[in-house]
Amino acid sequence: DIQMTQSPSSLSASVGDRVTITCQASQDISSYLNWYQQKPGKAPKLLIYGASNLETGVPSRFSGSGSGTDFTFTISSLQPEDIATYYCQQYTNLPPFTFGPGTKVDIK
């Protein structure tokens, strides 16, 4: 099975800061990497698919990059409504379609 790691596990930043989260796969997953945002008590929301494609309706301050085993998720200017936990997920041909452990983002 493919294992996913994320770092950091949590971070605190100021409004307007640039925030970066990294995700690493235990083997090459090409660009089959998705990013989700989850707010407390809510279902996850898709933000980025295929490593770098912005889901329709998602603000452009969110972006993703990477391929192979190393991926990056960036919020270019943190907003109060971005307080959430962010998960990466690999979606290659074979299950299980594992998620990373999550990164909790809050406001300093």
Which positions lie near other proteins, rule CB under 8 A? Answer: 32, 34, 36, 38, 43-46, 49-50, 55, 87, 89, 91, 95-102
∠ CA 95-96-102, nearest 5°, is 140
State in angstroms the smallest separation of the CB of 93 from other proteins. Answer: 8
* Chain center to CA of 16: 18
Nearer to other proteins, 91 or 107 (CB): 91
Nearer to other proteins, 32 or 73 (CB): 32
The answer to whether 103 and 10 are in contact (CB under 8 A) is yes
Helix, strand, or coil (residue 82): helix
State in angstroms the smallest separation of the CB of 16 from other proteins. Answer: 28
Find, among 48, 71, 73, the residue nearest to 58 by Cα. 48
State in angstroms the smallest separation of the CB of 58 from other proteins. Answer: 11
State in angstroms the smallest separation of the CB of 43 from other proteins. Answer: 4
Helix, strand, or coil (residue 28): coil
Nearer to other proteins, 44 or 68 (CB): 44
